[in-house]
Structure 1
Amino acid sequence: MNALDPWKLELGGTTLIEASAGTGKTHTLTTLYVRMLVERDLLPREILVVTYTEAAMAELRERVRQRIQEVIAAGEEGAKEGKEGSEVDPRLRALALEARRSAERRGGTDPLRRALREFDEAAIFTIHGFCQRTLKEHAFESGTAFDAELVPSSESLDRTLAHDLWARILEGEALPFLEWLRSGAGRRWQFEPEPLRRTLLSILGADEEMPVLPGSPPETDVPELDRRTKAVEASWERWVRSWHARGEIVKGKLLGKNDLNKSKYKNPSVWLSWIERWAEAISTAESLATVHALALPKWWEKLTPEGLESGTRKKGVVLEDEFFERCGEVLETIAALEEMRGRRALALRRRFVDEARKEARKRREERHLLYFDDLLCELRGALRPPEGDRLAEVLRGRYRFALIDEFQDTDPVQYEIFRRVWHEPDETAAGHGGLILIGDPKQAIYSFRGADVFTYLSARRDAGGRVHGLKTNWRSDAGLVRAVNALFGRVRQPFGLEGIGFDPVEARAGAEVGWSVPGRSGAGLRVLMAEREVVGAHLGQTVGKSCPLRFGRTDLMDAFARDVADLLDSGAEIDGRPIVPSDIAVLGRRNSELQRARRALEDMGIPCVDRGDADVFESREAWELASLLRAFLRPGDPALLRSALATAAHGVDASGFAEWTDASPALLALSERFAEYARIWSESGFGRAFEAWRRAEGVTERLLRFEDGERRLTNWLHLAELLRQIESER
């Protein structure tokens, strides 16, 4: 891979730029943009820039505008007398000079100033925005309805569709199969409307060409399925008769003295109680079809002749009885039936996919609806040859270059659109427009974001020798850069996929460690190791391949908090000033981990603010607010009033409750105040009542006395605002 200098990159053809975090991806993109304005004499509306979120689009638009202004300013600085030795980037100055010369040759406007004047027309879009505009402006070429309504989410249509198809597909299926599918072992196939929508429709989206396995529904031998179904019912009948005849004998054998391995047969009395209930239910059922709703538990096999033999101690006597043979017969006939039922369930799911694709398109067209995913697929279809040749030519003429930001998040549908219009082989690239893809290949492995790593690899093949990389990290300290290089450079495939490797980067010049910790190494990465032997000794048990969860949730979190406390107390400095808690960020994979980390830090007296995406309704303040609301609604109930007093907002601890007896003047006064808050709530809304309570009871001042007082107060205010919004919507 070639190291990239954005000032020297040849503009044309398909180019892939691989940019790790902090290596100046946006700076590179804006540099290429201003070069295109000047060197190719293009207008902002002739350069397509695509990114993937509204926020990223807004930021990118502003960064491009600032870059144009920066080049213009560099030219003006360079033109001033005595400024030749200034710190203005000479490359910016040279580009500004070239822009002025271009304007003089043409007798027109400087392309940079012209671009700034016409920047409102800049073609900077999200991928969906680009597709929507193209389909709307080229309705004839794309075949899109002129009055199609764009709807952000297809969830409501998908729910209705899933329910309708579920009922239609199951119509005519045999009752025993339906019992098995809905209540028995067939539940694992999740053939219910909502799971079908969630696990199939939401994943497939509008892409009707996404491959689905199996390629066609597996065939089902219906007569054989019926025969095996009857065999299962017959085996259950014999099993019930055997239990009624020999149940007491079986109990004696299992519960009495025997040679069974007690570690495998710890509590057979529980099994026997289940058997009693099943035998009673089957014998009194109106139809044997109910047996298909039974899912055999794991312990069932231990009651078969084979299971009893393997569960008997060496040289022991194996228990034998007709009932155990009937258990084995039930297991055997069900196993034979399960295989066929599985094929049938798979066939139904495959049929669901086929019919859902046809029916979804039909319903969208009837209602003239377009969803975001439809935009992509509709444009892809409109661009395919031979009918799409004209539209591809029009787009290629309108947008000479396409710059795709965050390309690692691209899926096959999106890349097919870009490739169809702007990809050109190297031998024809000179003098033409082109396609520039910028992204981080390491992030292409995150499929939950919609990324497709194989799409990225396909684009790399298309780029051929025009794959470049940004080699300088402008964001991180040198120590951290070296540590990350050492960590990921140890193995050949650190990301588990051929073609996605790790290319080390260098820290920017002068990016030395800006912090120091007395008595600690200056390494950029510090790892807390939990040795298995030490953990075992600490817990008083043998530790296997992984530590127990409770150790990670408690002891490791405590160790982490102590390490942070030691750092804060060590005299460590950042750029000459002491390290404070706000300099430290804690990242976790789950909200539950962040909550435990926060508790561990608070126990050490370290203030912290939770910036995760945990639901505020799961917070401590939500429970306290519920107590407060109950007291508002029933201000005459002393118990509810004391519950409200126990919240941090009122701050009465256990020792203080002695003063708040049912007849105490203080509690009676509080009851009157809460009755007034309830009246305000009833007449003026919850928001006014909450504010009246907060001011009158001194809640803000009381909460801010806690070390995490800002977070507590924020949660209270957030919850109150949410309740106020809900109230206003009703």
Structure 2
Amino acid sequence: MTALSDQPARDRVEGDTSATLFVEAGAGTGKTYALVRRLSTLLLVDAIPIEQIAAITFTEKAAAELRDRLRVYLVDERDKGAPLADKALAGLDTAAIGTLHSFALRLLSENPLEAGIPPRATVQQDTAASAALDALWQECALLLFGQGPSASREGDLARAVDEVLDSGVSPTAFHELVEALHRDWDRLPTDPLHDGTPLPSTPDLSEVIAAATAIVGWKEACQDESDLLYATLGKHETWLENLHTSLADPTASPTWSELLGSPESAGRGGKGANWGGKEVLDEIKGEIRQLPATCEKIMLEYWTPRIQLIVDALTVVVRRHANQRQRRGTLEFHDQLVLARDLLHVPQVRERVREQYRRILIDEFQDTDPIQLDLAELLTNAVDGSGPESGRLFTVGDPKQSIYRFRRADISTYLRARGSDDSTESGVEVERLSTNFRCSRAVLDWVNEVFTEILVPSEGIQPEYRPLEAAPGRPPHDPAHGPAPFVFRSEERPRSARLMPATRMCGTGPRPLMSPGSSPPPSKRDGPTSPKPGSRHR
């Protein structure tokens, strides 16, 4: 039988339980089988009780599959005479094999007093969580908009909300802001963002007016009014007139905020001969290109304290709701992770839990988030902070499959935790499983060719692509079964351009929740019962 090229790595994964291993396993390489074999070694060879092992998976389905496959393996080993198999099987159904959230809830339930929750805490399911978010939004909307469209409100907060609404931001954006604060309540600042200084009644636009006036003044230097740059300066003149109008009449459209949000560009036209030389032309365009930065600076100075006031007010409500969930023991999924991490920062609890769970195995580690990494480090790191204690931590994942950034998954967190291949300072060793048992040789050849080109490594962002190998005995492509997979290349665009769609897809960031001046003003201000976007899936 032909040996697998990655057999040494598989042997270490299954049998070297004294090492702290980060295993990178591509699709179809048998990582679940490897997990089962490592668990069986811990149970049957190292004689570690199943109650002292935590195996963490990404989904409940994956946890059920891991438990079932471990059960089948242990039954087979028992039939072969393994003396410890019966004991492992007896504790399998109550073992800590499940999702990260279920493990966090287990820690909280085992230490309710230290966690500040009732002894029988429960998890809010989708319906209850949605209702709780609705209640949070109603309270926040009442704070922001008052009771009904004609509500009379006073103070800097009311003024900040009204000005943001008048700038063109819809109530929907406020709802999205509340959702974002609720989703990341543990990251909210403990101190107010706003320093308490009174809000200026009007923006100081003197700097941008002076810059725009100087730009328009260049029209007098033009020797040919048919020059395209002359027309561009005419657009700047109109823009400046609209800016003056918006300051004199707050109801005018466009508003000053909309104008500063979209200043005119330098365009591509202009001949040096019509402006007294290329140096003059470059100077004019240089001043135009500086205008957006000036506009942005003024926008930030004006809107930042207003948004800070709004966020400060909402933070108080969001934190109060989070504290109420903790006191009542009706936790959301994210609450479990945050409270479990805080619990493990209590030295006595951490030591007790470390004694209880001597081995931590984490599947799909490429989708780790900072809280999951904190939990793993708190449970496995040596007291002196030198890294994981030997053998305590085992992770398996595939960095090129990290797709859950919307759940805080961060590939840079994974890469930092893993370290480099030749680094020994952290005590972490990297092994890789590359033999694929799922696909045909022809498909793997195609996948390797395409993704070696598309997945270009970028430090801290995109790991390198590592080719998959066909399992021994997989035949080459047989033309009798149809055409082989092939790569269709377009010769109309250079290679770098062909890769742009994938680059954009990977690099697109979230849009700002509130950006005054970016949308048309609303027809009216809606109250707490205004329509809101549909609930988002976790």
Same fold, TM-score > 0.5, yes or no: yes
- Asked whether 1:420 is paired with 2:426, we answer no
Task: Specify which of 415, 425, 432 is matched with residue 469 of structure 1.
Answer: 432
Corresponding position of 1:160: 138
Shift of 1:499: 8.3
- Asked whether 1:435 is paired with 2:398, we answer no
Distance 1:508 1:352, change over 3 A: farther
- Cα offsets for 1:687-727 (capped at 9, x unmatched): xxxxxxxxxxxxxxxxxxxxxxxxxxxxxxxxxxxxxxxxx
Residue 22 of structure 1: SS of its match in structure 2?
Answer: coil
Question: Equivalent residues in 2 for 1:142-181 (5 A)?
Answer: 142-146=115-119, 148-152=121-125, 153=129, 155-160=133-138, 162-164=140-142, 166=144, 172-173=155-156, 180-181=163-164
Tell me the distance in 1 between the aligned counterparts of 2:294 and 2:10: 67
Task: Specify which of 359, 381, 392 is matched with residue 320 of structure 2.
Answer: 359
Task: Specify which of 402, 408, 411 is matched with residue 360 of structure 2.
Answer: 402
Shift of 1:118: 4.1
Shift of 1:334: 7.7
- Cα offsets for 1:321-378 (capped at 9, x unmatched): xxxxxxxxxx999888534213324533653575355433344356553211111111
Confirm or deny: 8 A CA contact 1:282 1:291 kept in the other structure. Answer: no
Question: Equivalent residues in 2 for 1:14-33 (5 A)?
Answer: 14-33=20-39
Confirm or deny: 8 A CA contact 1:16 1:459 kept in the other structure. Answer: no
Distance 1:231 1:527, change over 3 A: closer
Confirm or deny: 8 A CA contact 1:143 1:382 kept in the other structure. Answer: no
Shift of 1:159: 2.0
Corresponding position of 1:453: 411
Shift of 1:70: 3.7
Tell me the distance in 2 between the aligned counterparts of 1:503 and 1:221: 55
Confirm or deny: 8 A CA contact 2:388 2:427 kept in the other structure. Answer: no
Confirm or deny: 8 A CA contact 1:135 1:379 kept in the other structure. Answer: yes
- Cα offsets for 1:594-651 (capped at 9, x unmatched): xxxxxxxxxxxxxxxxxxxxxxxxxxxxxxxxxxxxxxxxxxxxxxxxxxxxxxxxxx
Question: Equivalent residues in 2 for 1:133-148 (5 A)?
Answer: 133-146=106-119, 148=121
Confirm or deny: 8 A CA contact 2:452 2:467 kept in the other structure. Answer: yes
- Asked whether 1:511 is paired with 2:474, we answer yes
- Cα offsets for 1:407-448 (capped at 9, x unmatched): 112211122112212344899957xx6221111122236513
Q: Provide TM-score, normalisation by structure 2.
A: 0.66
Corresponding position of 2:42: 36
- Cα offsets for 1:537-580 (capped at 9, x unmatched): xxxxxxx9689x9xxxxxxxxxxxxxxxxxxxxxxxxxxxxxxx
- Matched AA of 1:113: D
Confirm or deny: 8 A CA contact 2:55 2:360 kept in the other structure. Answer: yes
- Cα offsets for 1:80-110 (capped at 9, x unmatched): xxxxxxxxxxxxxxxxx6x2xxx3xxxxxxx
What RMSD, in angstroms, separates the aligned Cα atoms of the two structures?
A: 5.4
Residue 21 of structure 2: SS of its match in structure 1?
Answer: strand
Distance 1:180 1:197, change over 3 A: same
- Asked whether 1:531 is paired with 2:504, we answer no
- Matched AA of 1:351: D
- Cα offsets for 1:626-679 (capped at 9, x unmatched): xxxxxxxxxxxxxxxxxxxxxxxxxxxxxxxxxxxxxxxxxxxxxxxxxxxxxx
Question: Equivalent residues in 2 for 1:288-299 (5 A)?
Answer: 292=255, 295-296=258-259
Tell me the distance in 2 between the aligned counterparts of 1:178 and 1:313: 48
Task: Specify which of 354, 368, 375 is matched with residue 336 of structure 2.
Answer: 375
Tell me whether 334-343 or 290-299 shows the greater mean CA deviation.
290-299
Tell me the distance in 2 between the aligned counterparts of 1:465 and 1:366: 39
Distance 1:262 1:518, change over 3 A: farther
Shift of 1:309: 13
Tell me the distance in 1 between the aligned counterparts of 2:113 and 2:296: 57
Tell me the distance in 2 between the aligned counterparts of 1:332 and 1:531: 37
Q: Which has the higher contact order (CA 8 A, sep 6+)?
A: 2
- Matched AA of 2:138: T
Distance 1:139 1:355, change over 3 A: same
Tell me the distance in 2 between the aligned counterparts of 1:412 and 1:136: 22
- Matched AA of 1:54: E
- Matched AA of 1:475: R
5+ residue gaps, structure 2, are: 1-5, 147-152, 211-223, 276-291, 420-424, 506-538
Residue 93 of structure 2: SS of its match in structure 1?
Answer: helix
Shift of 1:116: 3.0
Tell me whether 475-484 or 404-413 shows the greater mean CA deviation.
475-484
Corresponding position of 1:182: 165
Question: Equivalent residues in 2 for 1:643-662 (5 A)?
Answer: none
Shift of 1:26: 0.1
Number of equivalent positions = 458
Confirm or deny: 8 A CA contact 1:142 1:378 kept in the other structure. Answer: yes
- Asked whether 1:217 is paired with 2:193, we answer yes
Percent of matched pairs sharing the same residue? 25
